[in-house]
């Protein structure tokens, strides 16, 4: 594995070590494919990628107080695993670019521009990294830290983690379908399996936060907000925004007990069309937002 994280219990910190030269899982490419290397970049620096979850779990862990040390440790363990996944994918990109032509392939379709965009490698993989992986997505867009969700609320973050692992697994399955290279299929099969575990472990952590029999025990997030401070007329009502006369579909989300067990679902129509107006004040004249009407003096 590339990196090991040891949670320094009692000292409030984490020590990172690297084990150079050892991949977490074998990465083999039978036939280099620059086009597939370009697609793999999404799994590195895309919104569904490993950089996102690695940083997400790290920042979530670093925000936890001492009393949640067991959860902090679990997040650090998985964040470190995800760093190893980045190394695997970077290795796969480099192997797929080995022997790649400096110019785009000669076997192009009639529309050379379309082929270059859809089948060619990322120009920056040559120009900026010398035929290696980069912290970008499949379109060459740099990794964006705004992808990272670390709210400081452990329950909210776990829901975000399940979503991140779900879309990551979806991406990995699509990449698996996009290649015939057995080595790449094998690597992706491993990543798909780890996404299966990560989804389940975060759901299990949600259960551990509250009633073990009910992973939704802590809903709504944040559950610490006083119930009497929210508008209880609308807190369990499904609101239809259909301009026509809406009918209650009589589904699970419009009737019966709410998922958190604290209310009863209902169905209502959006506020009356003769409801309150915005009634904004005239803008500050220094903003110069007003449009001078015809005949009006300066």
By the 8 A CB rule, do 140 and 122 touch?
yes
Rounded Cα–Cα distance for residues 32 and 166 (Å): 28
Closest CA to 156 of 200, 79, 218: 218
Closest CA to 61 of 23, 105, 13: 13
Six-digit token pair at 7?
């949670």
Rounded Cα–Cα distance for residues 217 and 195 (Å): 24
| pLDDT tens digits along 199-255 | 999 999 999 988 777 778 888 888 888 888 998 888 999 988 888 888 999 999 999
Domain extents for the chain? 24-104+119-209, 226-275
Residue 121 Cα distances to 49, 177, 225, 228, angstroms: 19, 19, 51, 57
pLDDT for 280: 85
CATH number of 24-104+119-209: 1.20.1260.10
Digits of tens for pLDDT over the chain (298 positions)?
Answer: 555 555 444 445 677 777 777 899 999 999 999 889 999 999 999 999 999 999 999 999 999 999 999 999 999 999 999 999 999 999 999 999 886 655 444 444 444 444 544 455 667 767 777 778 889 999 889 999 999 999 999 999 999 999 999 999 999 999 999 999 999 999 999 999 999 999 999 999 999 988 777 778 888 888 888 888 998 888 999 988 888 888 999 999 999 999 988 899 999 987 666 677 888 888 888 888 887 766 666 6
Rounded Cα–Cα distance for residues 82 and 297 (Å): 66
Rounded Cα–Cα distance for residues 194 and 80 (Å): 13
pLDDT for 39: 94
pTM above 0.85, yes or no: no
DSSP state of 128: T
pLDDT for 159: 96
């Amino acid at each position: 594995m590339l990196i090991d994280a040891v949670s320094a219990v009692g000292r409030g910190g984490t020590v990172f070590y690297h084990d150079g030269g050892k991949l977490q899982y074998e990465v083999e490419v039978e036939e280099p494919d620059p086009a597939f290397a370009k697609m793999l970049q999404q799994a590195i620096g895309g919104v569904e990628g490993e950089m996102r979850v690695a940083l997400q779990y790290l920042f979530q862990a670093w925000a936890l107080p001492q009393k949640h040390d067991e959860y902090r440790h679990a997040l650090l363990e998985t964040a470190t695993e995800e760093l190893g996944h980045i190394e695997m994918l970077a290795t796969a990109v480099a192997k797929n670019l080995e022997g790649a032509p400096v110019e785009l392939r000669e076997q192009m379709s009639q529309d050379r521009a379309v082929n270059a965009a859809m089948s060619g490698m990322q120009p920056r993989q040559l120009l900026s990294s010398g035929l290696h992986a980069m912290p970008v997505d499949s379109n060459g867009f740099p990794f964006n830290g705004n992808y990272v969700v670390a709210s400081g609320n452990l329950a909210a973050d776990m829901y975000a983690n399940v979503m991140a692992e779900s879309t990551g697994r979806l991406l990995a399955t699509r990449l698996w379908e996009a290649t015939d290279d057995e080595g790449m299929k094998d690597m992706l099969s491993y990543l798909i399996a780890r996404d299966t575990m990560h989804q389940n472990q975060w759901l299990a952590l949600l259960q551990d936060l509250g009633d073990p029999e009910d992973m939704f025990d802590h809903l709504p997030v944040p559950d610490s907000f006083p119930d009497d401070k929210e508008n209880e007329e609308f807190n369990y009502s499904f609101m239809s925004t259909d301009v026509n006369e809406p009918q209650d579909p009589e589904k699970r989300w419009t009737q019966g007990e709410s998922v958190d067990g604290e209310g009863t679902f209902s169905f209502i129509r959006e506020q009356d069309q003769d409801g309150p107006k915005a009634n904004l004040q005239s803008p500050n004249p220094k903003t110069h937002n007003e449009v001078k009407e015809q005949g009006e003096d300066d």
